[in-house]
Amino acid sequence: MKLSHFSFNLPKELLAEFPAENRDESRLMVIDRKKQTIEHKMFKDVINYFDDGDVLILNNTKVFPARLYGNKEKTGARIEVFLLRELNAEQRLWDVLVDPARKIRIGNKLYFGDDDSLVAEVIDNTTSRGRTLRFLYDGSYEEFRNKLTELGETPIPKYINREVTEEDAERYQTIYAKEEGAVAAPTAGLHFSKHLLKKLEIKGINFAEVTLHVGLGTFNPVEVEDLSKHKMDSEELIIKQEACDIVNNAKVNKKRICAVGTTSMRAIESSVSSQNTLNPYEGWTNKFIFPPHDFSIANCMITNFHTPKSTLLMMISAFCGHDLMKRAYDEAIKEEYKFYSYGDAMLII
């Protein structure tokens, strides 16, 4: 398959700027691969597709306020700093993106906050927009991290062309987020409300939690026609024994195992044994899933509607079947489903 197979016209007005009023009242498209059918539901109807002993695999990563605004020394130019990952806690070294990048060189200092209480020095260039910063702050590590949280902004995607609101801090986060480290939300999970999770639990559905700290690499455009030549950025992944036991037990009992989101799917596909069971894992993954791909663990998945030519769309094509996926996306555009992070959802069974 080539990059051009994943191109389609997405009307701008279908990119969701705000979340649905209630998490579980987004729309839900249900695709049955066996019957080749497409149905239109509400997200809370998802409960009707699961029974006692089935498993939902949830990515419990937590988004941190990764977008900061500082001023360059001398000129006072406003610079956006997007925190990607911490490189060294002791030295307070961070891998970041800066914008506008052309103004930021090694040796420059950036000042943050009204009182300039946080300062960063540029110590390396990593890519055209990437820099390594050393933060300078009078205080303990805990106080430093609190300062980053205080000054940082919820990193809603750039295409959402509006100011960040207080609501974003809550809504651009799953209700089961626990492990801080993501710079983008695992968006399929945003549709679950506390009420819906409780109802699923009462029905006997089990939850297996994995942690994949979503980086911006997930959204990097694919720029090669031959998909096998695309390189994914690495993201940190933790799968504990407890999650493996829940998933592998469901597999033995031929239950429905549902990956909630492309990040959960990447996580489990990154740590499969030769017997096609889930293994514990702690490390990094740069797995890129595109057609054809044999999925080893999950037999259904929940996902949002993705943008053209994205790696996320390629995974959905591999799981759903390319022709059925194209039919579903044509239908989604016709029925005016909302796309991307705050958009509607799809259940593929």
The neighbour count for residue 70, using CB atoms within 10 Å, is 22
Distances (CA, A) of 151 to 49, 112, 119, 148: 43, 8, 12, 5
What does pTM read for this prediction? 0.94
Task: State which H helix or E strand residue 30 sits in.
Answer: strand 27-32
Any bridge partners for residue 118, and if so which? 112
In whole angstroms, give the CA distance from residue 119 to residue 137: 7
Helix axes 322-334, 311-320, angle to 10 degrees: 120
The predicted structure's pLDDT at residue 241: 98
May I ask the CATH architecture of the domain 67-153? Beta Barrel (2.40)
Residue 158: what pLDDT?
Answer: 85
Q: Can you give the pLDDT at residue 50?
A: 98
What's the confidence (pLDDT) of residue 49?
A: 98
Architecture of domain 3-63+169-348: 3-Layer(aba) Sandwich (3.40)
Write out residues in the chain with pLDDT < 50, as ranges: none
Are 183 and 263 within 8 A, CB to CB? no
Q: What is the pLDDT of residue 326?
A: 98
> What is the C-alpha to C-alpha distance for residues 324 and 296, in angstroms, rounded to an integer?
20
Identify the pLDDT of residue 11.
Answer: 96
Q: How far apart are CA 18 and CA 337, in angstroms?
A: 13
SS (H, E, C) 57-123: EEECEEECCCEEEEEECCCCCEEEEEEEEEEECCCCEEEEEEECHHHCCCCCEEEECCCCCEEEEEE
The closest alpha carbon to 20, from 348, 346, 341, 347, belongs to 341
**3-state secondary structure at position 174:** coil
Output phi, psi for 89, to 5 deg: -65, -40
85 has which bridge partners? 95
Domain residue spans of the chain: 3-63+169-348, 67-153
User: Dihedrals φ, ψ of 185, to 5°?
Assistant: -80, 145
CA distance 68 to 148: 8
